[in-house]
Chain A
Amino acid sequence: MTKTVNQKAWLFVLPVLILVAFNAFIPLMTVVNYSVQETFGDNTFFWAGLMWFEDVLHSPRFHDALLRQLTFTFTILAIEIPLGVAIALTMPRRGVWVPVCLVTMALPLLIPWNVVGAIWNIFALPDIGLLGQVLNGLGFDYNFTRQPGAAWFTLIAMDVWHWTSLVVLLAYAGLVSIPDAFYQAAKIDGASGWAIFRYIQLPKMKRVLTIAVLLRFMDSFNIYTEPFVLTGGGPGNSTTLLSIDLVKVALGQFDLGPAAAMSLIYFLIVLLLSWVFYTLMMRNEDS
């Protein structure tokens, strides 16, 4: 089957193409341009070759930020994906409670990121915040502005609170699309609850979970606003993730060349890891 070729269709797509060119392609090329040149801020540029890339790749500061970033990302993935699936499994599949659950789940997603950061900042303050007071009241020595461990705990708790809902909603969509016949057949085959999860629910959720993992991976790798508002990267550099470090280099120190090189490396890492995830999860997905 072929479709009728309609030349007019290109005209309709053109505005989008122009828009994409302006907000994605052109900025990207600008970054590439910066990454191979040196400037002293007077609008004169010198060819620098791959110098900035070498600098960034050999910089301990970059290594540390990248390590923190990877730790953060894999921790939240390891918590949010299983937690999201578990919550989705407990949600009702039909009845009056469905919309109530869905709306409740969607609420954290509706809050702007900087507000989430501010909420958690106040919530976790050791002297006046609810979380801080409760933890200290329980005998924990908790102060996220002073202790790196506490800062990490708060950062991860905030991300889990903010983003698990997305995994829940995606997993739920996958679950409700499983026809009843599968559950009936599994019951007839004498399958246990675990076997039903392992052999029916999980395989049927595979596609949406792949999407959830990819979205959460990319988002968490690019996370900036919430940790910036919450901890500002501190105490010290303990929660300085890649994006925060990048902004410090680019805007704090105005080192455009290294910042540009760093962005490109950053971008390539996200691209590479996304591809690895996708291929791993879609392996065996023949036909």
Chain B
Amino acid sequence: MATITLSALRHSYEPDPSRDEDWALKRLDVAWQDGGAYALLGPSGCGKTTLLNIISGLVRPTEGRVLFDGRDVTDRPPDQRHIAQVFQFPVIYDTMTVRQNLAFPLRNRGVDAATIRDRVEEIAAMLELTDRLDRRAKGLTADGKQKISLGRGLVRDDVNVIMFDEPLTVIDPHLKWQLRSKLKELHQRVGRTMIYVTHDQTEALTFADQVVVMNMGQVVQVGTPVDLFERPRHTFVGHFIGSPGMNVLPCEGLDGRHALVGGHAVAVANPDPGAPARHMEVGVRPEFVAFAEPGEAGGLPVAVTRVRDAGRYRIADTRLNGTVPITVLVDEDTPIPAEDARLVFHPDHTRLYADGWMVGAQPGGAA
């Protein structure tokens, strides 16, 4: 069990990185608490697998240090870091029984037979594998095999961190929630540091207390699921988290408290300190946009171009000034005006972004 500190980390697969885009992983400083549940979330190619491999020791970072409990492990190979990993596709030892699989890491470390037996049975009970202990591991279903992979990490008591690399890829969709539930329960029970890598927002937000969102080699936000939904620090987070994603509308600054969107003033939650003029945008989630009541004054006049029924809500596509698309989420029984449609933004959830970053928040890793 350990605190994990990534200090001034940078990595490039190029021999001689010079340009910004040569870096597969841009400068990163993160400190992860002992016993926490973390997720690395991002689209493919965002650098999350590189980061995972740096933590596990399969990749040596070009710059920076990796510290476990303050001890520098940057130069240590994976087997000396005391980590466990569950891979995308189940890795089990085909010729062994479930029991032998679970005992394998302990046997390799010369643990005595009685301790192995107790430990294996304890972990098997936790994973609900007791009745299958003496069966060939090969015959189990995909979720059973993934449990074995996880179990081989859990039997050891020297594990600093357990890492998951898209572990539910091969699991049947309707069984996924049960395995997710098992993982949550186990994390609460064993209190180990766990890092979960995925491109799927549901996987990440369901598992982790703190989610690290990455894009193009950069950490764009570290936060709780509520932070990512309600206070995205970057327009990418707003787009990537949530379905449909956040509306990002070009704007001009007005008086600090308001912004001009297509010529209309919109109140924002984060005041603009009036920094040098950059590319300014307003971000507001479709959940926080509503049609103005007929008598209500103000709002952005839009044309409704399409309404799609998603069952429990409807998605209205609208256009401001005929060009700027704005998506609105409308409840099942709220009417959509046929004419004179005007949109109002929830001022607490409407934010100003400069060059992609939320105004008032510093770019970089720290939350």
Contacts and interface: CB of A to CB of B under 8 A. Distances in A.
A185 B139 contact: no
A179 B88 CA distance: 11
Interface in A239-263: none
A179 B91 CA distance: 9
Interface string B142-163: 0000000100110000000000
Task: Sort chain A's interface into a size bin.
Answer: 10 to 19
A191 B108 contact: yes
Interface residues of B, number: 26
Interface stretch (A164-172, A192-200, A221-229, A273-281): A192-200
B84 interface: yes
Contacts of B96: 199
A188 B82 CA distance: 7
Given A188-B78, A190-B108, A191-B104, A203 B95 contact: yes
A181 interface: yes
Contacts of B109: 190
Given A187-B79, A195-B108, A203-B95, A286 B85 contact: no
Given A182-B91, A199-B95, A203-B94, A188 B58 contact: no
A203 B56 CA distance: 26
Contacts of A190: 79, 105, 108-109
Contacts of B138: 286-287
Nearest to B93: A199
Given A188-B78, A286-B139, A181 B108 contact: no
Secondary structure of the B contact surface, majority rule:
mixed
B89 interface: yes
Interface in B121-175: 136, 138-139, 149, 152-153
Contact of A188 (B85, B88, B89): B85
B104 A184 contact: no
Nearest to A179: B89
12 contacts: A179-B89, A181-B88, A184-B56, A187-B77, A187-B78, A187-B79, A188-B78, A189-B152, A190-B79, A199-B93, A199-B96, A203-B93
B169 to A, nearest CB: 12
Given A184-B78, A185-B87, 5 more contacts: A189-B108, A191-B108, A200-B93, A203-B95, A286-B138
Interface string A173-217: 000000101101101111110010001100110000000000000
B343 interface: no
A188 B79 contact: yes
A185 B149 contact: yes
A181 B91 contact: yes
Interface in B90-122: 91, 93-96, 104-105, 108-109
Interface of A: 179, 181-182, 184-185, 187-192, 195, 199-200, 203-204, 286-287
| 5 closest cross-chain pairs (CB), A and B | A190-B108, A189-B105, A181-B87, A185-B91, A199-B93
B83 interface: yes
Nearest to A204: B94
A198 to B, nearest CB: 9
A160 to B, nearest CB: 29
Contacts of A191: 104, 108
Contacts of B95: 199, 203
B284 to A, nearest CB: 42
Contacts of B105: 188-190
Nearest to A182: B91
Contact of B89 (A181, A189, A200, A287): A181
A256 B156 CA distance: 71
Contacts of B152: 185, 189
A134 to B, nearest CB: 44
Contacts of B56: 184, 188
Nearest to B88: A181
A199 B97 CA distance: 12
A200 B89 CA distance: 15
A140 to B, nearest CB: 43
B302 to A, nearest CB: 50
Contacts of A181: 87-89, 91
A183 B83 CA distance: 14
A210 to B, nearest CB: 15
A192 B108 contact: yes
A126 B362 CA distance: 84
Given A190-B79, A192-B108, A203-B94, A185 B85 contact: yes
